[in-house]
Amino acid sequence: MSAASSIRVLPELRSIQVERAEVLTPALHLYFAENYDLSRTSVPKSFRRVGLIGAVAVLARSRAVTLELPEPLWLREFPRTATMALVWRLRGLLSASRREVVMYAIENNDLETLVGKRSRVAHVLVVTALRIFISHFVDRIAFGSPSAASAYSALISGDVDGDGGVVESTKYAQFTELPAPRNSIDLDTSSTDAIFVGELSVRKGMEHLMAAWELVERQSPGARLRVVGTGPLTEKVVAWCSASPQTRHYMGFVEHGALDAHIEQCAVLVAPSRRAGRWREQIGLPIVEGLASGLTIVTSRDTGLAAWLEAQGHQVIRSDYQVVELAGALLEALGSPIPKKTVIGSLPLEPQRIRADRWLHESGAS
């Protein structure tokens, strides 16, 4: 498929999206803002920064067939998303050409929490607008986790199964966002290190992790925690790591392309996210990358991959966990990590994000 056949709209461009573009369906990428992790990434010419008016102008002139928009439950983005979908549809009608709107959805929160404490009338209006949009403006949605399918079930009439999930069809399909194994993994490493990768913040569980790791240190003297990332708690984390450099190593910001080498040297990846207001971890990119390197995962039930991880023997603790629960999960994972060969063997041969993208875009080309 040529680059002119698809367009992707990204509210905020991240380095992983630039990397993924090399293996996803070729497309013109329109984005509104840049994430901090993009500072050292070379952005290809197929990415174009625009405002809403600029995006609308591109869509109105484009001869592409498929437009991939942000998922509708990204409510902050929904007004822009709906505007672009409307322009796309109108352009198709005026030119008598086929125009399709597709979406990749990973929202992991329930509808009531996302819509928030609005008045009853406002709540009904928002939910009604979402239902009309999905029913009349969207051609295909690929769900990146069972939790995402469940989150959308209240907005999809007639396509919900008895368990509250979405029935797969020509419009809806589920692709649990698992990675393929990385090439050339050292399966025999005897590391006792754990690694945290991500934003250093309360919602990512950093404060609870620091407290839990102090308990781990008392019972497992040889264990070491590597911390990768920056955020609101950076100064606190740096001071905490400096207090015990033998068991805590702050690595700062590491470019995404260089992360794999650090992750592979560890036995456990910890991602202890906690709900914060309307925010809830959707998938957790570090979890995906940890699995690809064969690591045992320690996380909370807030990730959309929680059910799969638990079924595979990883350490999944409740969403509102206490420090001692996180420490116990870390000790269990470090003491008896799942063999890397077993973790690798549980993964698909092809990244499911790529499968989902192919279904979204190539279905429109058939």
Kindly report, residue by residue over 24-69, the tens digit of the pLDDT: 999 999 999 998 888 778 899 999 999 999 999 999 999 999 999 9
- C-alpha–C-alpha distance, residues 71 and 208, integer Å: 31
Tell me the pTM: 0.89
- C-alpha–C-alpha distance, residues 230 and 37, integer Å: 10
- Quick one: average pLDDT of 63-84? 95
- Quick one: average pLDDT of 297-325? 96
The pLDDT of residue 3: 45
Kindly report, residue by residue over 110-147, the tens digit of the pLDDT: 888 888 766 778 888 999 999 999 999 999 999 999 99
Assign residue 143 a region: left if phi > 0, alpha if psi is -120 to 50, beta otherwise?
A: beta
Q: Which domains does the chain have, with CATH numbers?
A: 3-178+350-365 (3.40.50), 193-345 (3.40.50.2000)
Average pLDDT, rounded, for the chain: 91
Q: 187 and 338 in contact (C-beta within 8 Å)?
A: no
Task: Report the 10 Å Cβ neighbour count for 352.
Answer: 20
Q: What is the 3-state secondary structure (H, E, C) of 219-231?
A: HCCCCEEEEECCC
Buried/exposed 30-45: b ≥16 CB within 10 Å, e otherwise: bbbebeebbeebebee
Between the CA of residue 68 and those of 48, 64, 350, 360, what are the distances in Å? 15, 11, 21, 8
- Quick one: average pLDDT of 148-152? 91
Q: What is the 3-state secondary structure (H, E, C) of 333-346?
A: HHHCCCCHHHHHHC
Task: Report the 10 Å Cβ neighbour count for 174.
Answer: 20
